[in-house]
Amino acid sequence: GAGVSQSPRYKVAKRGQDVALRCDPISGHVSLFWYQQALGQGPEFLTYFQNEAQLDKSGLPSDRFFAERPEGSVSTLKIQRTQQEDSAVYLCASSAKDEKLFFGSGTQLSVL
Amino acid sequence: GQNIDQPTEMTATEGAIVQINCTYQTSGFNGLFWYQQHAGEAPTFLSYNVLDGLEEKGRFSSFLSRSKGYSYLLLKELQMKDSASYLCAVRVPMGGGSQGNLIFGKGTKLSVKP
């Protein structure tokens, strides 16, 4: 497709369950970012990939969060042993080298 | 640390002009972006400033003063569809050869009334 695609659109998880969120960036985009957006807040940086290399993961809130982009295209954000405070919208964004970010519609995660 | 401030909410009338301010204090600066976000949707790019001055694009204009750490987004001839959140974001340098990551403000929720 022409834009950044994220799936699933909505995810409900029981506390303690593992989840995996997928991002398909715009074809050819080198840079890929993951953000977390709580209700009524701006997006907060989680991690950054340049091709398959994870160059910055300083925003990941705990070691329960893990992201990968093994072939430099699709990326997966995995959250292990989900907690209620993980409930948020997870946004993926991609860009051609050093240009503006294009965002996906996000995955809304609800942890019960 | 990184700090980006913008008003939480604003209300304006259809057909009017509204100015949304943003002040920032960041460790480094590689440009300032404005994004529009409708509820439940992806943020969409509106404007980019890296040099001081005004950038105009149709009904939207954005201004930057780097010495003051200040930007504003100006929306003219407001339409009902402009009701959305407006996010101010500063790009700060990162390693790895990238110009940087975006640090976002909390967003300004604009309500346009008839």
The tens digit of pLDDT for each residue in B23-80 reads 999 989 999 999 999 998 999 999 999 999 999 999 999 999 999 999 999 999 999 9
Query: Does any CB of chain B come closer than 8 Å to the CB of residue A4?
Result: yes
Give the model confidence (pLDDT) of A66-81 as tens digits: 999 999 999 999 999 9
Q: Give the pLDDT confidence score for residue A74 in this predicted structure.
A: 97
Residues of A in contact with B45 (CB under 8 A): 100-102
Among A41, A48, A106, select the one facing B106 at the smallest CB separation.
Answer: A41
- Picking from A48, A51, A60, A69 by the largest number of B CB atoms within 10 A of its own CB, the best residue to mutate is A48
Using CA atoms, how far apart are residues B96 and B45, in angstroms rounded to an integer? 24
Using CA atoms, how far apart are residues B35 and B48, in angstroms rounded to an integer? 9
Q: Which residues pair with B101 in a beta bridge?
A: B92
* Start-to-end C-alpha separation, chain B: 41
Using CA atoms, how far apart are residues A25 and B38, in angstroms rounded to an integer? 21
Tokens 């300083």 appear where?
A: A58
Per-chain mean pLDDT for chain A: 94
Residues of B in contact with A72 (CB under 8 A): none
Cβ pair B98:A91 closer than 8 A: no
- In 3-state terms chain A splits into helix, strand, coil percentages (rounded to 5) of 5, 50, 50
Using CA atoms, how far apart are residues B8 and B23, in angstroms rounded to an integer? 13
The residues, any chain, with a CB within 8 Å of residue B81's CB and separated by 6 or more, are: none
Which residue type occupies A32?
L
Q: Give the pLDDT confidence score for residue B1 in this predicted structure.
A: 76
Q: Whose CA is closest to A109, among A59, A50, A34, A48?
A: A34
Q: Which two tokens stand for residue A57?
A: 């993961």
- Average pLDDT for A82-109: 92
Instruction: Enumerate helices (H) and strands (E) in chain A, giving the number of each.
Output: 0, 11
Whether A18 contacts A80, CB under 8 Å = yes
Using CA atoms, how far apart are residues B50 and B42, in angstroms rounded to an integer? 23
Cβ pair B106:A42 closer than 8 A: yes
Pairing mode of beta strands B18-25, B3-5? antiparallel
Using CA atoms, how far apart are residues B11 and B30, in angstroms rounded to an integer? 31
Using CA atoms, how far apart are residues B6 and A81, in angstroms rounded to an integer? 35
For residue A99, what pLDDT band results from cuts at 50, 70 and 90? confident
Q: Which residues of B touch A (CB under 8 A)?
A: 4, 33, 35, 40-45, 48, 87, 89, 94-99, 101-107
